[in-house]
Structure 1
Amino acid sequence: MPLIPLRGALYTRSFLLLASFALIAFALLFGVAIGETNIQLSIVVKALLNGLFGLDWAVSPIDQGIVWNYRFTRTIVAGCCGAALAITGLVLQSLLRNALADPYLLGISAGASTGAVMVTIAGVGAGVLSMSFGALIGALLAFAFVVMLAVFATGRFASDISSQVILAGIAGSQLFNALTAFIIAKSANAEQARGIMFWLLGNLSGVRWNEVALAVPVLVIGVALVLWHGRALDAFLFGSDAAASVGVPVRRVQVVLIGATAMMTAVMVSMVGAIGFVGLVVPHVARFLFGSKHLVLIPASAIIGAVFLIICDIGARTILSGQILPIGVVTALIGAPCFAVILVKGSRK
């Protein structure tokens, strides 16, 4: 008799796993098929099979190039970016016990943008530092600045600063955005400035296979680190003191998880720019659907975030005929109302 519930749970998990893979597959297919010019799904499938397995299906060279070298890479990076930002928001909300925490509001994205611009435009590092490494340094410095400001504002540390972190994050975000604008105005020519300003709003147009080769491993490593500390994140929901009382090494876990979130945010920002509201909204949707256990929330947030950003990218390519919008504009149009709802509900509670 005890085997029956166990078998039912196994079937449920298997079904959810298959449904997740199917959802991601459909999102990828439609992300490749829909764009400025729609491509039939049958042609998309043939082109992907040609590229993945070296087959020789009859596909025109133009369609093959659009599918394999442009839209497929763009959709993969969009999915990786959405998953990474969603997990980052989930981790920050759990560690800080603040429903409004996410890498965009806490200034991490702004710091990563500043670091990336300093390397590419101002020439910091003399060509030794990569754009992604510069973004990582900027993200870590931004988060350190936000935490220090919150500590000085409260005179305390650990969980007591969570109420001040959002305000400190807004200040840090404005500071690093101002630094980015100053560097662009001082060091960039008119053409570079136009390109960077479009990139800062979220731009997936330039991603190719090199970016895929960076985004996928970073996402896998980040998800693995966060999943490894999933039970510790459950304990952090009751505060850092409660987590320490059940044997969680609080400082080590905080350092590892903040490092993982900074790494994912920095790499994604260095490729596609600062995209807001994904890390804020998606974790709340995942909690509403799947509850509060992080071993379930982490993969759920990753899948929802990936699908959400792929859908937003489709919207960015199709809302205006003949023009591609920055993807950050689309996520803001969706995320800002959701942010308002979360803010109102949190204030009432």
Structure 2
Amino acid sequence: MNPSHPATASRHTATKTILFVVLAVALLVSVLVSAGTGQLGIPPQEVLGSLLHRVGIDWLPLPTHPTGDQTLWAIRFPRVAMAALVGAGLAVAGLIMQAIFGNPLAEPGVIGISSGAAVGAGLAIVFGLTVFGEWTTAVFAFVAGLAATLIVYAMSRAEGKTEVVTLVLTGIAVNAIAGAAIALLTFLGDTQSREQIVFWQLGSLAGSRWSQVLIVAPVIAIGLIVAYAVARKLDLLSLGERNARHLGVNVEALRIGMIFIVALLTGAAVAFAGIIAFVGLVIPHLMRMILGPAHLPLVTASALGGALLLTLADLGARTIVPMADMPIGMLTALVGGPFFFWLLRRTRKRAGGWG
């Protein structure tokens, strides 16, 4: 046995542990700071005191302002919780997509799932559909997102492989068609509908409520559980389709199932937060660069990293411009766009060109 193997495994375990601890601590700090930031400033120790008080622990002081506790639980905490959930969901969705398509450029926003889901939501908004009650918008977003995913998947397959260039180009086409559909819906809708559609296109967590969090949380939990369950199969798939089949993986069934989960995660996120691009591209790729290709730790790291990124982005959206709430999707695109350019160049250089 190579004596370097135990040392290498030990270093990898240490790296994984350190990364998880850093991400978890950073997420906790960002949650406390974000929840305490706003027109009514609340110190982090009072925010934590309010959280602990709800579970019966009175170690830290409660907010001193008369309406501080109410502000936290009615406005701030639902928004921060939604940011963390949506970020985790989008990051894990991106990780799954990169695994099943076999390339680092796959991401729900890049290949049209988000815009497809927004079209579904737009249809529900403009035509006032209430077929599924309060779930109607989310269901329509999910179905439209799933349809967009299946179209991209079908058209990017050639000779048993998913071609990265076709994937990106098909995504561009789907995004263009979805953009035209959203423009048509904006034209057909009334003033209130138009305002809501603009919300979808820009992305925002303003007005998040506990009732929405309670809808999104189980969906994200299901997605995470399934991602953990199939992590080993995704590892085998990364060895190549033929090898995965020889090792007992039903590749097409795995892909279709994972596409359903990705659409579920992305549809839930888009249904309540609008289009938030590039989280599913940036976070999984960064985590893979640090941890390597094993998907079990990557699911945890991507979920924590996505939650951290969107919590910080939401904090930036509320603080960069005084007395204004910037679109969060705009901020993530400003970060993710340059990263995507770099990733395209890096992938092309590694492959020796697209030809």
Structure 2 length-normalised TM: 0.88
- Structure 1 residue 325: deviation in Å? 0.3
Deviations 1:98-117 (A, max 9, x none): 22110001110011111111
Deviation larger for 194-203 or 119-128 = 119-128
SS of aligned partner of 1:90: helix
- What secondary structure, in the 3-state scheme, does the structure 1 residue paired with 2:204 have? coil
1:343 deviates by: 1.3
Is 1:32 the equivalent of 2:38?
no
Q: Where in structure 2 are the equivalents of 1:36-47 lying within 5 Å?
A: 36-47=39-50
Give the partner amino acid of 2:137: M
Separation in 1 of the partners of 2:250 and 2:132?
39
Q: Which runs of 5+ in 1 are unaligned?
A: none
Residue 169 of structure 2 is aligned to residue 164 of structure 1: no
Residue in 1 aligned with 2:102?
97
Q: Which amino acid aligns with 1:296?
A: P
Alpha-carbon distance in 2 for matches of 1:201, 1:58: 33
Q: Give the drift of 1:23.
A: 3.2
Q: Which moved more, 1:295-304 or 1:19-28?
A: 19-28
Structure 1 residues 226-265: aligned runs within 5 Å:
226-265=227-266
Number of equivalences: 342
Q: Distance in 2 between matches of 1:197 and 1:345?
A: 34
Q: What's the CA shift string for 1:128-173, capped at 9, x where partnerless?
A: 561111111011111122223334xxxx354244441221111011
Shift of 1:337: 1.2
Match of 2:353 in 1: none
Letter in 2 for 1:63: G
Q: 1:257 to 1:339 in 2, by over 3 A?
A: same
Query: Which of 114, 120, 140 in structure 2 is aligned with 1:115?
Result: 120
Q: Which residue of 2 aligns with 1:142?
A: 148
Q: Distance in 2 between matches of 1:86 and 1:58?
A: 33
Task: Report the RMSD for the aligned CA atoms in angstroms.
Answer: 2.6
Shift of 1:85: 0.7
Tell me, yes or no, if the aligned pair for 2:118 and 2:200 is still in contact at 8 Å: no
Paired residues of 2:116 and 2:148 also in contact (CA < 8 A): yes
Distance in 1 of aligned mates of 2:131 and 2:72: 36
Q: Which residue of 1 aligns with 2:183?
A: 181
CA contact (8 A) 1:107 1:142 kept: yes
Q: CA deviation at 1:16?
A: 6.0
Cα 1:319–1:18, aligned 2, differ >3 Å: closer, same or farther?
Answer: closer
* Alignment partners' CA distance in 2, 1:157 and 1:31: 49
Aligned-partner SS, 1:130: helix
The farther-off stretch of 274-283 and 119-128 is 119-128
**Unmatched 5+ stretches in structure 2:** 1-6, 351-355
Q: In the TM superposition, what is the alpha-carbon distance from 1:73 to its structure 2 partner? A: 0.9
- How far is 1:49 from its partner? 3.2
Deviation at 1:192, TM superposition (A): 2.9
Give distance in 1, aligned partners of 2:192 and 2:55: 36
What residue is the counterpart of 2:288 in the other structure?
Answer: 287
Deviations 1:31-79 (A, max 9, x none): 2122344321132123323445497946434211221111111111101
Task: Give the direction of change, closer, same or farther, for the CA distance of 1:295–1:112 in structure 2 (3 Å limit).
Answer: same
Give the 3-state SS of the residue equivalent to 1:104 in structure 2: coil
Give the Cα–Cα distance (whole angstroms) in 1 for the partners of residues 125 and 54 of structure 2. Answer: 32
- Residues of 2 paired with 1:165 and 1:5: CA distance? 36
Q: How big is the shift at 1:126?
A: 4.6
Q: Percentage identity across aligned positions? A: 31
Amino acid at match of 2:238: L
Give me the whole-angstrom Cα distance separating, in 2, the residues matched to 1:20 and 1:281: 15
Residue pair 2:27, 2:304 contacting (<8 A) in 1 also: yes
CA distance in 2, matches of 1:145, 1:13: 36
For residues 340 and 315 of structure 1, the distance between their equivalents in structure 2, rounded to whole angstroms, comes to 23
